[in-house]
Amino acid sequence: MTTLALSLDVMLFELRRSLTFGRMAAWGILILFPVALFTTLNILMRVNMGPEAYASPDVFQALGVTLYFLIPEVCCLLGLLLWATPAVSTEIEGQTWVYLALRKAGRKSVLLGKYLTSLVWTFSTALISITICCCVVGPSVSWELAMVLWAIAALSCISHGALFILIGTLFYRRSIVTAVLYTVVVELGISFVPAVINKATINFRLRGLMAEWMGWENARSQFENVLGTDPAWQHLLALLLIAVLCLGVSLYRVETTEYPTQQEG
Amino acid sequence: MIQLHQTTKMYGRVVGVNDLTINLESGAYGLIGPNGSGKTTLINLLIGHLRPTIGSVCVFDENPAVNRGVLRRIGLCPASDVLYPNVSALEFVKYQTRLHGISRHQCVEMAESALELVGMSHAMHRPMGTYSLGMRQRTKIAQAIAHQPDLLILDEPYNGLDPVGRADMTRLLQSWSGDGRGLLFASHVLQEVESVTSSFLLIHGGRLLASGTASEIESMVSRAPQEIRIIGDDSPKLIRRLAEVEWVNSFSLVDERRELRVSLRDPGSFYQQLPKWISEENLSINELRSADGNLETLFDSLLRHHRGEAL
Amino acid sequence: MPLHELGYRTWDGHRSSPLLRPLVVARGGISLVLKSRWLRLGFLLAWLPVILPTIGIFLFEYSITNPNLSRGVSNIFRGPLQRPDLAQQVLEDPAGARHEVWTLFILTFFRYPQLFAMVCLIGLIAPLLVSYDLRTKAYLMYFSRPLSPTEYIIGKSAVIWFLLGMIVTVPGLALYFVGVLLSPDFSVVPETWDIPFRILGASVVLLVPTTFLAIAYSSLTSENRYATFAWFATWVMGFVSYQILTFSPAAMADRAPRRRRRGGIDWEEMGIDLDRWRLLSPYHTLGKAEAWVFGLDPTEGSVIPAMTVLIVVSVASFWLVRRRLIAKLKA
């Protein structure tokens, strides 16, 4: 019996029990937000620049950057903030952690299962909203952009999800606030610092991959410090390492930490 | 079954359990102590959720915090409520059983039979948010026994049960211990534990005050100092007799001279002498109140015993 | 068998003034949240940014008596604060620029570090305030006393008002008084006497709508993670919407500057309407209202829509919490 099989069962259990109004509403909002925003932007563009608005490569690139920022960065982060970060804290608050902790494979499988659940919820929002946004713009958007955005969204979910799970296991009392602070300071602040330090951030890697896969050489040469010049395999390796490291530390932490069970006596 | 060697658990500067040394063979045991006495800390040590600050914990010769495989042989019914409101009891118990690594197919069978055993078959498909407190309590018991553990640990299992539910629960636990499987039953109500087992562990302030059978503890308590209340119109007439014996610490007359409160160093001698005095002087005594059944007084007596105040 | 009247009875005992009743709720909440180590650390960190505007005011006042410093000080306004017009005035008529310089420093303090600290602190405290009471049914304990839902809401809000007052209003006022003490003489007081009142006004603008909104989110769920998420999502989504809808069309149409220039960018001159999408973003709406309170509103648009939105958010949030509580009590 592998931990992975158990994690999949945990994921199925979590998915079944999470079909609540609150969660569905949050899921819907995370899809509708980029779609509504992008549709408005699209209308503005067409009004200002006419039907050939996206004919220019520069405009098309700006469109891609906007979509990238809106979905793999903002929406994926918001989704993971809600579904990955409080993985442990909700069980502690709900006084159910003790039930999971006393199972032979409870802690690891539950953490991995909840990680997978957060990926499913978040990636599904990204997938749907990217597809709708591309449909909104119409044939001007190439399949290439859509597929790159899907891939970037998947990578964003995998790496940011692992990071937020780690934050959730380390700071289980204030997990969401800590994750927001981390994101603002590191992923939105440090990732733009033109120095070696930004290479350790997930957003730098995702931006680099976006530029690399879309072939935005002009932008890469102009904003070298922000988009990087590393080849795609290096970005992928870095993201994989970040995800594995974060998950590894989270699993160790969850195995060894004496989380409060909120019982008396 | 359970071995604790000089086990101490600290929460920062607060002592959870203090220097516990216990060696329990397979059987049923009642863990009795007032709220905050360290019962739940001890249970959390036994399931490996907590690691001892000092000393060691072994369950079935394994350290549960290190070798999690041993958890397959332990079932726990925690004191905290189950709070998955939109999950059915069957789903919940199946899920909990599955986390032990038992196959999916077996999990369903085990969950169903455990829920049947606790009388929850009729409602096991309903979401738990619609359950009464008693039904949730039964579901908790079901998840603890579903994987057929060798040791069942229960933390206040009677919470929220009505009289019928209590009787059912008592029968279930009696049958469990009757089958020769291990049972550790934490409660702060002596009578609850007494109905299931006659072996007790008395815990207070994180320390094991006493262990043994009910009669052993009774005899120990009877030797410990106690306060007795003698109520009746003739109770003041006992003062002369009490003043003559050396096993009386003090006495006072209260409630318009109708109640005599006596602090005794040797309750055994008192119980031997009192009927004699009453019959010799033909006294009218309506009531005699002692520490029986009162856990606070029992622990008070045991603490005095530990302080060396007992004879 | 006698029948006993055990139904609801009016409270015959002495009650404190309705204005003081929320204080009981607030006092309990404040003492509880102050026990949190995280929050105490947050308090400490939230006070740190006050050092920068204090140094700014000191340097400005010192530059009046020491003209060698004037050029350096004016660069602060030309560069980081993006006010080249004020930089020029600081060089030409520093005494005349005093009021605007002080308010600009205080507004900047309100607008950037303290607004960020406010969002974080409310995110730490507010989601639990009502949702925890709903989950643990502690609200029944409150309403078994002669306490009205309005008094309860005000009491809970007062917990946040107190904490935010400590990190926004108090340091703002302290900044003003330290500014006076660092000035060459007390002649600055008649020129700047209105600033403390503006600080109080801006505090009300900042505290009331944000608190009621956070409490409303908290009342909508018994799982505080949803309330915390909703709180942060409101700010993030609003901010992102404003930025994208305001600047992206210009960027795509190649009207925006490619690289950041030294000094301020006059967006409106470039045809970008900074007020058009403002109401989508709580951050920018609050910014407009606060700037107006300090008399430094930088954009052409009227402040009335921003103020209306803030009032509507406050009233609607208050009504929502009250309705939720009454519905819970009736259930």
Chains interfacing with B (3 or more CB pairs < 8 Å)? A
Q: Which of A2, A260, A23, A106 is nearest to B95 (CA)?
A: A106
The pLDDT confidence band at residue C289, using thresholds 50, 70 and 90, is very high
Asked if C134 and C220 touch (Cβ cutoff 8 Å), the reply is no
Q: Which of C291, C268, C277 is nearest to C107 (CA)?
A: C291
Average pLDDT estimate for C237-258: 78
At C91, list the tokens.
Answer: 């060089």
Any CB–CB contact under 8 A between C248 and chain A? yes
Least confident of A12-26, A120-134, B214-228, B262-276: B214-228
**pLDDT attached to residue B268:** 76
Torsions phi, psi for A37 (to 5 deg): -65, -45
Q: Which residues of chain A have pLDDT under 50?
A: 264-265
Of B78, B87, B96, the CB nearest to A263: B78
**Residue B101: C-alpha distances to residues B140, B241, C206 (Å):** 19, 70, 54
Asked if C265 and A95 touch (Cβ cutoff 8 Å), the reply is no
Of A40, A41, A74, the CB nearest to C236: A74
**pLDDT attached to residue C176:** 93
pLDDT tens track for B75-100: 999 888 777 888 999 999 999 999 99
The pLDDT confidence band at residue B67, using thresholds 50, 70 and 90, is confident
**pLDDT attached to residue C8:** 66
Taking the C-alpha atoms of B132, B133, B139 and B145 in order, what is their torsion angle to the nearest 10 degrees? -150
Least confident of A82-91, B48-57, B254-263: B254-263
Q: In a 3-state reduction of DSSP, which class is residue C129?
A: helix
Please list every residue in chain A whose beta carbon sits closer than 8 Å to the beta carbon of residue C120.
177, 180-181
- Residue window 13-32, chain A: list those with CB within 8 Å of chain B: 13, 16-17, 19-20
- Residue window 89-108, chain B: list those with CB within 8 Å of chain A: 91, 95-96, 98-101, 103-104
Chains interfacing with A (3 or more CB pairs < 8 Å)? B, C
**Residue B83: C-alpha distances to residues A168, B190, C135, C222 (Å):** 20, 28, 11, 12
Average pLDDT estimate for C93-99: 87
At C44, list the tokens.
Answer: 């400490």
Please list every residue in chain A whose beta carbon sits closer than 8 Å to the beta carbon of residue C225.
82, 85-86, 89-90, 176
| B294 pLDDT more than 70 | no
**pLDDT attached to residue B311:** 42
The pLDDT confidence band at residue B37, using thresholds 50, 70 and 90, is confident
At B253, list the tokens.
Answer: 């007359």
Least confident of A261-265, C76-80, C209-213: A261-265
> Which of B10 and C261 is assigned the larger pLDDT?
B10
d(CA B58, CA B48) in angstroms, rounded, equals 9
Average pLDDT estimate for C235-256: 82
pTM: 0.85
Asked if C221 and C131 touch (Cβ cutoff 8 Å), the reply is yes
- Residue window 93-132, chain A: list those with CB within 8 Å of chain B: 94-96, 98-106, 109-110
Question: Quick one: what percent of chain B has pLDDT higher than 90?
Answer: 17
Contact call for C236 and A78, based on CB within 8 A: yes
How many degrees, rounded to 5, is the angle at CA B203 between CA B197 and CA B206?
Answer: 150
Of C120, C123, C233, the CB nearest to A78: C233
Any CB–CB contact under 8 A between C251 and chain A? yes
- In terms of phi and psi (left: phi > 0; alpha: psi -120 to 50; beta: otherwise), the region of B181 is beta
Asked if A175 and A86 touch (Cβ cutoff 8 Å), the reply is yes
d(CA C255, CA C276) in angstroms, rounded, equals 17
Residues in chain A, total: 265
ipTM reported for the complex, 2 dp: 0.91
| B305 pLDDT more than 50 | yes
> Which of C269 and C240 is assigned the larger pLDDT?
C240
- In terms of phi and psi (left: phi > 0; alpha: psi -120 to 50; beta: otherwise), the region of A238 is alpha
Smallest CA–CA distance from A13 into chain B, residue = B95
Least confident of A67-71, B240-244, C154-158: B240-244
Residue found by looking up tokens 């406050």 in the block: C314
- Partners of residue B259 on adjacent β-strands: B231, B254
pLDDT tens track for A162-217: 999 999 999 988 899 999 999 999 998 999 888 888 899 999 999 999 999 998 88
Average pLDDT estimate for B136-165: 87
> Which of C330 and C49 is assigned the larger pLDDT?
C49
> DSSP secondary-structure letter at C48?
G
- Partners of residue B88 on adjacent β-strands: B127
Any CB–CB contact under 8 A between C20 and chain A? no
Q: Which of A136, A145, A16 is nearest to A68 (CA)?
A: A145
> Which of B233 and B305 is assigned the larger pLDDT?
B233
Taking the C-alpha atoms of A171, A176, A179 and A183 in order, what is their torsion angle to the nearest 10 degrees? -170
d(CA A254, CA A252) in angstroms, rounded, equals 6
How would you write chain B as a 3-class SS string? CEEEEEEEEEECCEEEEEEEEEEECCCEEEEECCCCCCHHHHHHHHCCCCCCCEEEEEECCECCCCCHHHHHHEEEECCCCCCCCCCEHHHHHHHHHHCCCCCHHHHHHHHHHHHHHCCCHHHCCCEHHHCCHHHHHHHHHHHHHCCCCCEEEEECCCCCCCHHHHHHHHHHHHHHHHCCCEEEEEECCHHHHHCCCCEEEEEECCEEEEEEEHHHHHHHHHHCCEEEEEECCCHHHHHHHHHHCCCEEEEEEECCCCEEEEEECCHHHHHHHHHHHHHHHCCCCCEEECCCCCHHHHHHHHHHHHCCCCC
Taking the C-alpha atoms of B9, B13, B14 and B19 in order, what is their torsion angle to the nearest 10 degrees? 40
d(CA B203, CA A14) in angstroms, rounded, equals 39
| C172 pLDDT more than 80 | yes
Of B38, B80, B95, the CB nearest to A13: B95
d(CA C97, CA C104) in angstroms, rounded, equals 10
Smallest CA–CA distance from C241 into chain A, residue = A37
Q: Which of B179, B110, B178 is nearest to B143 (CA)?
A: B110
Sequence-distant (6+) residues with CB within 8 A of B154 are B76, B77, B141, B144, B173, B183, B184, B185, B186
**pLDDT attached to residue C267:** 66
Classify residue C279 by burial, with Cβ atoms within 10 Å: 0-12, 13-18, 19+: middle
Q: Which of C322, C87, C84, C296 is nearest to C215 (CA)?
A: C322
Average pLDDT estimate for C62-81: 82
The crossing angle, in degrees rounded to 10, of helices C195-219 and C149-164 is 130
Amino acid C63 reads S
Chains interfacing with C (3 or more CB pairs < 8 Å)? A
Please list every residue in chain C whose beta carbon sits closer than 8 Å to the beta carbon of residue A61.
none
CB atoms within 10 A of CB C306: 24
**Residue B247: C-alpha distances to residues A207, B250, B262, B291, B300 (Å):** 87, 9, 11, 17, 18
| C266 pLDDT more than 80 | no
**pLDDT attached to residue A264:** 47
Any CB–CB contact under 8 A between C308 and chain A? no
Count each helix (H run) and each strand (E run) in chain C, helices first.
15, 0
Q: In a 3-state reduction of DSSP, which class is residue C15?
A: coil
How would you write chain A as a 3-class SS string? CCHHHHHHHHHHHHHHHCCCHHHHHHHHHHHHHHHHHHHHHHHHHHHHHCCCCCCCHHHHHHHHHHHHHHHHHHHHHHHHHHHCCCHHHHHHHCCCHHHHHCCCCHHHHHHHHHHHHHHHHHHHHHHHHHHHHHHHHCCCCCHHHHHHHHHHHHHHHHHHHHHHHHHHHHCCCCHHHHHHHHHHHHHCCHHHCCCHHHHHCHHHHHHHHHHHHHCCHHHHHHCHHHHCCCCHHHHHHHHHHHHHHHHHHHHHHHHHCCCCCCCCC
d(CA B21, CA C143) in angstroms, rounded, equals 48
Question: Quick one: what percent of chain B has pLDDT higher than 70?
Answer: 90
Q: Which of B70, B9, B73 is nearest to B41 (CA)?
A: B9
Sequence-distant (6+) residues with CB within 8 A of B206 are B9, B15, B16, B17, B18, B20, B37, B38, B41
| C134 pLDDT more than 90 | no
Of C221, C229, C245, the CB nearest to A176: C229
